[in-house]
Structure 1
Amino acid sequence: MKKMIALGMAAMMCLSMTACSVSTSSKTETTAAATEAAETTAEAAKDSETTAEAAGDLVATADYPTKPITMIIPYGAGGTTDTWGRKLAVLLEKYLGQPITVTNQGGASGSIGSQFVKEQPSDGYTLLVCAETMGTYRTMNICDLGYDDFTVISPLVGDPKVLVVGKDSKYNTLQELLDAIKENPGKITMSHSGPGGSGHNQGLVLKELGYEVAMTSFDSGNDALLGVIGGQVDFTNPNISTLGGYIESGDVKPLAVFSDKRMDAYPDIPAFTETVPEAEKYLNIPYTLLSFVVNNDTPQEVVDVLKAASEKVFADPEWTDFVKQNAADPVYDEYKDDASIQAFYDNWKSVICWLQYDNGVAEKSPEEFGIKRIGE
């Protein structure tokens, strides 16, 4: 009997030890499983962050952008500003992660659309792509807006101007045309799209340099070009973005780029300053300048997000290829920091506003708005 009791107690001890072993093993397996799960979760989160970074996400603040954005083009559809604004909007969507609706609000040299943007909340949800007329609104007495009413996210591109004559013109070089202007002051005709526009400004530069031409205003830059092709006027200065097809077809003869440098896309067209070196002080700026701006009291964190997104756009092959295809001047690549951007716009206003005022085109003195004369 004692033997049986002893055997029973031994068996119970064995069962107890086995149970403890199973319990300990179970706890160990559970802990290991939990640790493995935690490591897997952490690794997944790390992979997610890496994927997001690789995709180029630019969510620098939890508050912007969280909803669709509107971009205002203050000119009609199909023009230079509209073309570049829409290309910018498509690529900004890619890096901001929100849809951008492009709306055209033309009229009064772009001032109507610009004024609309100024009246919207300064929250980064209403963007503006403007032309160079923004810098001359006050002196031309069009409206009270100027570049200092906006924060420039970045200058975009310049659309180079090219001096051209018709295919049947007797002028084959810039020097021949300039000689004719000198010999016949006020007789050689030049078409442009209207007072204060970039084409008209070029006629004023010629006047400053001692070349007096008869300037004829047309309804648009394209009409001014057709006037040359049709033989109504002697020459004009269209943007290269609208000119390429006419050069290739032979309908016009390009005599010079109205600039201090040649274009990479058309390296055989000489720069104006190669014939007239003293023109350099007027031609070291783009005459058709496009800019990407927001209201000047937009929060800095929003401005920073837009600037970062713009940098992504400017490095995107879709953008750089578009710039090359349109023979545009990549101004955005030269002026990146706030100080250089400010200096660029100050110089641009100094050249253009005083040029217009000195020639009786602008109604108000640039001095009234703190715009210093060139060289002061």
Structure 2
Amino acid sequence: MRKIIALATAAAMCLSMTACSVSVSTSETTKAEESAAETTAAEAAESSEAADSDLVATADYPTKPINMIIPYGAGGTTDVWGRKLAALLEKYLGQSITVTNQGGASGSIGCQSVKEQPSDGYTLLVCAETMGTYRTMNICDLDYEDFTVISPLVGDPKVLVVGKDSKYNTLEELLDDIKANPGKVTMSHSGPGGSGHNQGLVLKELGYDVAMTSFDSGNDALLGVIGGQVDFTNPNISTLGGYIESGDVKPLAVFSNERMEAYPDIPSFTEVVPESEKYLNIPYTLLSFVVNNDTPQEVVDVLKAATKKVFADPEWTDFVKQNAADPVFEKYTDEASIKEFYDNWKSVICWLQYDNGVAEKSPEEFGIARIEE
């Protein structure tokens, strides 16, 4: 009996010690969890304060979600850059931005829809270079002057390429053949008045008569070269990189007066044809961020401040480098330089198109000065 009592007592002591041990362990775990929760909350608060410090919004703007119109279809150059801008603007404006594609009529349908919206900063527009030629091309009455330019964005460099099996290995060989066979060497482009077509007009102005063939899109024009249907084309680098790496095309020149940092081995067009420089001091595929021109100045100021933060954001600068884009936004930052930039662009392109019978109306009708010789 004494043994049973002793065993029972020992068991009770063991259970008591175990309960104490569990109680202490649970208490310590709870304290650790509470401490971790406090740390997480503090870090979240600190992160929130840091995020708030990046905001440039005011009490009056923006106070609700924003819409951004891309006047072209999804997946194109304008769409890609517009969506990247929208995603980063959300970060600094503190409001969501919905991107809507409204393509058609060289982008004029989407641009017109923005013009018809209230000028309150809640409808933004990322447009392409065709905005500067709508009037002379008789597409519509819109112009950059109908909008306030928050900032030019980037130029998407154009590269003259031939297929991998082409007999041309250098720009000199291609140009020599064009000279020897005027109107016989074929060039594809995405349509009249577009940046690729404009490049063909520059060649014509320089004495190189090529047979221009219009395709439904820049990508189709490029596939026409890869498939051997035409001799050469001039796509944007943002859509070309993979084809260069795969060897499907041979790049002969950047249609510019300088080489690209991302592809330093591709010569600039002006290295071979120096007299082309007066035509190549502008980006042929130009993207711009604009709002209606009667938008309140305080709203414009907020958008400009947010855009400036976007341009300094590593996610933006990395994207620019990855796509070998021309950082036009770095070169024209005040109202005077921005206006001079767009005036010069229209002077070059609108007169180029009119002199070659592409534009229906004279640039002079709209006060666009002829480029200086």
Q: TM-score, normalised by structure 1?
A: 0.86
Q: Which runs of 5+ in 1 are unaligned?
A: 1-46
2:68 equivalent in structure 1: 71
1:58 equivalent in structure 2: 56
1:89 equivalent in structure 2: 86
2:269 equivalent in structure 1: 272
Distance in 2 (CA, whole Å) between partners of 1:307 and 1:357 is: 34
2:154 is equivalent to residue 154 of structure 1: no
2:35 equivalent in structure 1: none
Distance in 2 (CA, whole Å) between partners of 1:167 and 1:208 is: 28
**Of the candidates 206, 210, 215, which is equivalent to residue 209 of structure 1?**
206
Distance change (3 Å), C-alpha of 1:52 and 1:243: closer
1:353 equivalent in structure 2: 350
Distance change (3 Å), C-alpha of 1:142 and 1:117: same
Stretches of 4+ aligned residues off by more than 6 angstroms: none
In the TM superposition, residue 55 of structure 1 has moved relative to its aligned partner by 3.1
Partner SS state of residue 190, structure 1: strand
**Of the candidates 164, 178, 186, which is equivalent to residue 181 of structure 1?**
178
Partner SS state of residue 139, structure 1: coil
CA deviation vs aligned residue, 1:117-170 (integer Å, no higher than 9, x gap):
000000000000000000000000000000000000000001000000001111
Distance change (3 Å), C-alpha of 1:98 and 1:54: closer
Distance in 1 (CA, whole Å) between partners of 2:112 and 2:253 is: 36
1:246 equivalent in structure 2: 243
**Of the candidates 288, 292, 305, which is equivalent to residue 289 of structure 2?**
292
In the TM superposition, residue 375 of structure 1 has moved relative to its aligned partner by 1.6
Distance in 2 (CA, whole Å) between partners of 1:111 and 1:80 is: 16
2:260 is equivalent to residue 263 of structure 1: yes
Q: What is the total number of aligned residue pairs between the two structures?
A: 328
In the TM superposition, residue 254 of structure 1 has moved relative to its aligned partner by 0.2
2:139 equivalent in structure 1: 142
- Aligned residue identity for 2:167: K
Distance in 1 (CA, whole Å) between partners of 2:224 and 2:138 is: 29
**Of the candidates 128, 131, 134, which is equivalent to residue 131 of structure 1?**
128
CA deviation vs aligned residue, 1:200-219 (integer Å, no higher than 9, x gap):
00000000000000001111
Partner SS state of residue 227, structure 1: helix
In the TM superposition, residue 74 of structure 1 has moved relative to its aligned partner by 0.4
Distance in 2 (CA, whole Å) between partners of 1:339 and 1:143 is: 26
In the TM superposition, residue 57 of structure 1 has moved relative to its aligned partner by 1.6
2:312 is equivalent to residue 321 of structure 1: no
CA RMSD of aligned residues (A): 1.4
CA deviation vs aligned residue, 1:73-109 (integer Å, no higher than 9, x gap):
0001111000000000000000000000000111100
- Aligned residue identity for 2:273: V
- Aligned residue identity for 2:55: D
Distance in 1 (CA, whole Å) between partners of 2:161 and 2:372 is: 31
Partner SS state of residue 137, structure 2: coil
2:40 equivalent in structure 1: none
Q: Which runs of 5+ in 2 are unaligned?
A: 1-44
Distance in 1 (CA, whole Å) between partners of 2:76 and 2:175 is: 30
2:112 is equivalent to residue 108 of structure 1: no
1:322-341 matches, within 5 Å, as 322-341=319-338
Distance in 2 (CA, whole Å) between partners of 1:139 and 1:374 is: 16
Distance change (3 Å), C-alpha of 1:54 and 1:102: closer
In the TM superposition, residue 53 of structure 1 has moved relative to its aligned partner by 8.0
In the TM superposition, residue 62 of structure 1 has moved relative to its aligned partner by 1.6
Partner SS state of residue 98, structure 2: strand
Partner SS state of residue 55, structure 1: helix
Distance in 2 (CA, whole Å) between partners of 1:205 and 1:332 is: 25
Distance in 2 (CA, whole Å) between partners of 1:342 and 1:138 is: 18
Distance in 1 (CA, whole Å) between partners of 2:110 and 2:55 is: 30
- Aligned residue identity for 1:359: N
**Of the candidates 156, 160, 163, which is equivalent to residue 163 of structure 1?**
160
Distance in 1 (CA, whole Å) between partners of 2:236 and 2:307 is: 24
